[in-house]
A = this chain, B = another copy of it.
């Protein structure tokens, strides 16, 4: 059996889906798919308004751009109807995770210093080109 190592991937914290119209997407997930959804939360410092879709084992986050320079604006320009934007994995220690990733040749976005994410915890994003087109967020929990 493989032991858990420092820097290993933990739970899927959330799957983020960018949408052009949060009210319509929320109604779809609630009324058509039959999921539990949170009220919308504006996070101006992150450039998004978010609705949490609560599943029994993880959550989906529906993201709509908020304000100028939203980090999901370019994505929605390319995919105007929306789409899966990133996956967030939990890690125990974000600095050791980062060091392991960089040693493995992966690129961390920005200057490599964890930022405070939308849940108030340290996060990093990894370059999607290093992970087969998937944008990966790591969140220390």
9-residue interface stretch from A42-50, A65-73, A76-84, A110-118:
A76-84
A106–B16 Cα distance when bound, in Å, is 21
Please determine whether A12 and B58 come into contact, CB atoms closer than 8 angstroms. Answer: yes
Judged by a CB distance under 8 angstroms, whether A55 is at the interface is: yes
Q: Is A19 an interface residue (CB 8 A)?
A: yes
Q: Are A11 and B55 in contact, with the CB atoms below 8 A?
A: yes
Tell me the number of copies of this protein: 2
Q: Are B28 and A9 in contact (CB under 8 A)?
A: no
A83-B132 CB under 8 A given contacts A57-B57, A57-B58, A106-B32 = yes
| B residues less than 8 Å from A8 (CB atoms) | 34-35
**A60 proximal to B (CB < 8 A):** yes
- Which A residues, 1 to 18, have Cβ-Cβ distances below 8 Å to chain B? 2, 5, 7-12, 15, 17
Interface string of A127-141 (1 = CB under 8 A from B): 011111110100000
Contact B87 A84 (CB under 8 A): yes
Q: Do B81 and A84 have beta carbons less than 8 Å apart?
A: no
Q: Name the residue of chain B whose CB is nearest to the CB of A32.
A: B104
A94 at the interface (CB under 8 A from B): no
Instruction: Check A33/B129 contact, CB under 8 A, given A9-B55, A12-B55, A87-B15.
Output: no
